[in-house]
């Protein structure tokens, strides 16, 4: 049974605490509650030392971004992580990461990187949008130090107004890991096959246009890929950056997924995409029966390809062939104009 210390017991608690013992150790010796020890300290205007952590944690992980692991997990948390105030204090004290249960191993990677000794929760919830029960892996880390470091880096400005200063402050040689974390969180790689056709779409989505523009400029600067137009992502308020060209997507993915850490399922898709051998239109035309290939002076190309080579209208070329012109005449006979032009 927990007892309430008397006035004499207060002196005993003060003596034990001043000897260097922690709140928990004093409470265990005096067989009282930890909050009782804390109230006695406050009553005598003695500054209470922070209590020892229950679980191990590297609280200096985000103090400075100087390794590839720190840069990657900063990017991933900016996409899928949250910091919140679960205790009612003004300063956030909790860092949360929630992913679908199939990505449970990725949550384990983050727990190992930050050296956290707590457990990962298995949560079931009902998805009203699809009328299904889903499973989720939740990791809650209580640390005011980590939350303060993230806020000092620019977390709140990034989340609320799309300020990209937190991205620019990461050293240039580590930004590739930051970008990979952002894409693993808010990016998507769609790869599908239908008969002889392979469809690939790589896109990055964010709520703020400034973040999407920063991503497009970074990819253009580092990989030389032309920026596609930024558009709205469906009916949502988010902005999307979409790449459809197979060679461009292969350049981006091969540059991003050279080293770890990474999300396993996106790494597998990236490997499949990079194995695709890009075929020219002539090679595709040879595999399709309805394609029309034209060979002239040992050069084979499609009808559209020849029209682009000699810069004539395709309808003009078709009309010449239909009226019985030879391929040489149809290709190289100059286009006639009227008397005014």
pLDDT, tens digit, 9 for 90 and up, residues 126-185: 888 888 899 999 999 988 889 999 999 999 999 999 999 999 999 999 999 999 999 999
Which of the four CATH numbers 3.10.28.10, 3.30.1360.10, 3.40.50.720, 3.10.20.70 does domain 185-274 have?
3.10.28.10
Q: Where along the chain do its domains lie?
A: 7-43, 68-161, 185-274, 281-332
Cβ atoms of residues 170 and 74 within 8 Å: yes
Which of the four CATH numbers 3.60.15.10, 3.10.28.10, 3.50.50.60, 3.40.50.2300 does domain 68-161 have?
3.10.28.10
- What are the pLDDT digits (tens) for 15-43? 888 887 777 788 888 888 878 888 888 88
Closest CA to 65 of 142, 172, 221: 172
pTM assigned to the model: 0.70
How far apart CA 328 and CA 321 sit, in angstroms, is 10
Q: Do domains 68-161 and 185-274 have the same CATH topology?
A: yes
Helix (H/G/I), strand (E/B), else coil: 107: helix
Rg of the chain in Å (alpha carbons)? 31
What pLDDT is recorded for position 1? 45
How far apart CA 318 and CA 303 sit, in angstroms, is 9
Residues with Cβ within 8 Å of residue 298, at least 6 apart in sequence: none
**Backbone dihedral angles phi then psi of residue 263, each to the nearest 5 degrees:** -80, 125
Average pLDDT for 172-199: 85
Average pLDDT for 326-340: 67
Helix (H/G/I), strand (E/B), else coil: 169: coil
Other C-beta atoms lying within 10 Å of the C-beta of residue 229 = 8
């Amino acid at each position: 049974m927990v007892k309430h210390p008397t006035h004499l017991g207060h002196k005993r608690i003060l003596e034990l605490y001043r000897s260097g013992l922690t709140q928990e150790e004093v409470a265990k010796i005096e067989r009282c509650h930890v909050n009782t020890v804390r109230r006695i300290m406050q009553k005598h205007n003695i500054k209470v030392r922070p209590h020892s952590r229950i679980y191990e944690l590297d609280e200096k992980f985000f103090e400075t971004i100087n390794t590839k692991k720190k840069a990657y997990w900063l990017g991933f948390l900016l996409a899928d992580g949250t910091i919140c105030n679960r205790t009612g204090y003004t300063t956030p004290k909790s860092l949360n990461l929630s992913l679908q249960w199939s990505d449970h191993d990725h949550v384990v990677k983050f727990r190992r990187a930050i050296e956290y000794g707590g457990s990962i929760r298995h949560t079931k919830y009902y998805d009203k949008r699809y009328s299904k029960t889903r499973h989720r892996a939740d990791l809650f880390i209580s640390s005011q130090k980590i939350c303060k470091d993230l806020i000092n880096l620019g977390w709140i400005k990034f989340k609320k107004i799309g300020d990209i200063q937190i991205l620019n402050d990461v050293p240039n040689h580590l930004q590739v890991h930051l970008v990979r974390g952002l894409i693993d969180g808010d990016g998507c790689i769609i790869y599908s096959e239908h008969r002889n056709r392979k469809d690939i779409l790589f896109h990055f989505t964010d709520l703020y246009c400034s973040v999407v523009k920063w991503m497009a400029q970074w990819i253009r600067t580092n990989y030389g890929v032309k920026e596609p137009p930024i558009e709205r992502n469906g009916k949502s308020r988010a902005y999307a950056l979409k790449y459809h060209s197979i060679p461009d997507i292969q350049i981006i993915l091969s540059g991003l997924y050279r080293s770890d850490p990474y999300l396993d399922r996106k790494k597998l898709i990236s490997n499949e995409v990079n194995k695709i051998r890009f075929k020219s239109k002539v090679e595709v035309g040879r595999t399709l029966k309805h394609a029309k290939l034209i060979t002239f002076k040992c050069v084979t190309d499609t009808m559209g390809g020849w029209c682009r080579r000699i810069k004539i209208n395709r309808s003009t070329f078709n009309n010449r062939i239909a009226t019985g012109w030879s391929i040489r005449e149809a290709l190289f006979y100059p286009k006639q104009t009227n008397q005014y032009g």
